[in-house]
Amino acid sequence: MIHIYCGDGKGKTTAGMGLCLRAAGAGKRVLIYQFLKGNTSSERKILEQIPGIELMRGPDEMKFIFRMTPEEKETVKRSYAEMIEGLIRKLETGQLSAEVIFLDEVLYAVSRGIVEETGLLALLRAGADREWILTGRYKGGLLFEAADYISEIHKKKHPFDNGIGARKGIEY
């Protein structure tokens, strides 16, 4: 099944991580990849210690999309396409044992043109027997049609609105 956590509110990644913890607690093998984030998010430290959870490494540092040059965006786009193609090959050859696959912020990457929606749909089809968790800001489209669960998280109030930046251990 395909789970989507989308919207402009805080909690999409948190919801996805919670589902991964639940799955690992039930003995399922979990694979997590975080798009458009470096390898420094606080949850990674503890998730790496949990049996059954594998974290794929992305780039150590990642700029916000609005700060990337067109060349940097193209490099990131190529890198993600190669990663997705690699996962498809592993699924097709039986080399990927994860039963739950969490692609954090992939929907935002799709909405910003950094990940091709058709490539992501091909990945989901290749692993149709898996549980998929997709998060990020996203307005709908083919991925919504393919989804089995869609939870939209809306911001009503956020400290950022009052000039308070992201806090370690809370937002990252």
What is the distance of C-alpha 143 from the center of its chain? 14
Domain membership of residue 66 (yes or no) is: yes
Is residue 3 within 8 A of residue 134, CB to CB? The reply is yes
Domain membership of residue 78 (yes or no) is: yes
Q: How far is CA 29 from CA 3, 37, 56, 91, 102, in A?
A: 17, 22, 13, 14, 11
For 11-61, what is each residue's pLDDT tens digit? 999 999 999 999 999 999 999 999 999 888 888 999 999 999 999 998 888
> Is pLDDT at 62 greater than 90 in this prediction?
no
Give the whole-number percent of the chain exceeding pLDDT 90: 79
For position 51, which CATH number holds?
A: 3.40.50.300
Q: What is the pLDDT of residue 171?
A: 80
Domain membership of residue 91 (yes or no) is: yes
> Is pLDDT at 124 greater than 90 in this prediction?
yes
Domain membership of residue 164 (yes or no) is: no
Domain membership of residue 75 (yes or no) is: yes
Domain membership of residue 74 (yes or no) is: yes
Q: How far is CA 78 from CA 15, 49, 83, 119, in A?
A: 28, 30, 9, 12
Q: What 3-state class would DSSP assign to 66? A: helix
Q: What is the pLDDT of residue 23?
A: 98
Domain membership of residue 156 (yes or no) is: no
The pLDDT of 86-102, averaged and rounded, is 97
For 126-144, what is each residue's pLDDT tens digit? 999 999 999 999 988 899 9
Domain membership of residue 170 (yes or no) is: no
| pTM of model > 0.95 | no
Is residue 120 within 8 A of residue 110, CB to CB? The reply is yes
- Number of Cβ within 10 Å of residue 23's Cβ equals 20
The residue segments making up the domain with residue 128 are 2-141
The pLDDT of 88-112, averaged and rounded, is 97
Q: What's the total number of domains in the chain?
A: 1
For the ranges 10-14, 59-63, 65-69, the lowest mean pLDDT is seen at 59-63
